[in-house]
Amino acid sequence: MREKERAVRLSKRMSKVLRHAPEEVGPALDAAGWVDLDDLARALGVTRARVLEVVADNDKQRFAVEGGRIRANQGHTVPVALDLPVAEPPAELYHGTVSRFLPDILRDGLRPMARHDVHLSATVETAVRVGSRRGRPVVLAVDAAAMAADGHEFRVSANGVWLTAAVPPNHLREHAS
Ligand code: HQG
C-alpha cells in the first residue's frame, strides 16, 4: 500500500473513534471530545508520532491537538460540546449534496441528519467536493446573512467548516454549476 493510502486509512480510523464510536477501540472522549494522544495511539496500535503525522498532513485538518490531547474538529455523531463561539458568517455559504435528496431538502430544509449540525462550506469548490462523495454533486447556496439576521446561530470549526442547527427551505436556492 502506498504511504498516502496508509495515512488516509489511519485518518479514517481516527475519525471513527473521535467522532462516532470511541467505545469500539477503547478511549472515552471527554465532554468536549478530547482524548489523550497516547491512549488513542495505543488503542489504534500505532505510535504517537504516527498519529501526529496524520494530524499534520491531513488534507482537511480534521483533528486538533492541544496539551497532549486530540479531538476531531467537526463531524461528530456522539454527544460532545465543542464549545465553539458564535461567529458572523459570510453573506453566502454553500452545501454540497446530490439530486436524490433535493425534494426532501427543498421541502424540509437542511437538517443535521446523524451529525450535530448542518455542515456548510465557505466556497462552491468545497461544496462540490462534499457532494461528490455521494454522486454527481448539486450545490445549494445558503443565504447566511438573512439567516443570521433572523437569529440563526453559526459557528465555524477549527478547520473552517461552518456549522448551524438547520437551514430553512426559504434560505436555500440551487446554485448554478
Ligand atoms: C443530506 C465530510 C434529506 C445532506 C464532508 C447530506 C462534510 C438531507 C446528508 C461533512 C436533508 C447528510 C458533512 C433533508 C440534509 N432530507 N437529506 N432534509 N438535509 N440532507 O455526511 O454535509 O470528510 O452528515 O445533503 O466533507 O454530506 O467527514 O453531511 O448529503 O464537511 O471530514 O443528508 O463530512 O467531512 O450527510 O458532510 P452528512 P455532509 P469529513
The CATH number of whichever domain residue 34 belongs to comes to 1.10.10.970
**What are the angstrom distances between the C-alpha of 150 and each of 84, 118, 141, 145?**
20, 17, 17, 9
Hunting for cell 427551505 — which residue is that?
169
Q: For residue 111, which atom of ligand 1 is closest to its CA?
A: 19
Residue type, 37: L
Same structural domain for residues 106 and 152?
Answer: yes
Predicted TM-score (pTM) of the model is 0.91
Mutate to test the pocket of ligand 1, among 13, 98, 102, 113 (most ligand atoms within 8 A of CB): 113
**pLDDT at residue 88 tops 90:** yes
**End of a domain among 72, 100, 123?**
72
Task: Tell whether the model's pLDDT for residue 94 goes beyond 90.
Answer: yes
Same domain assignment for residues 53 and 112: no
For 47, the domain range is 3-72
Give yes or no for residue 40 having a pLDDT over 90: yes
Atom nearest to 120 CA in ligand 1: 22
Do 114 and 157 share a domain, yes or no?
A: yes
pLDDT band at 21 (very low <50, low <70, confident <90, very high): confident
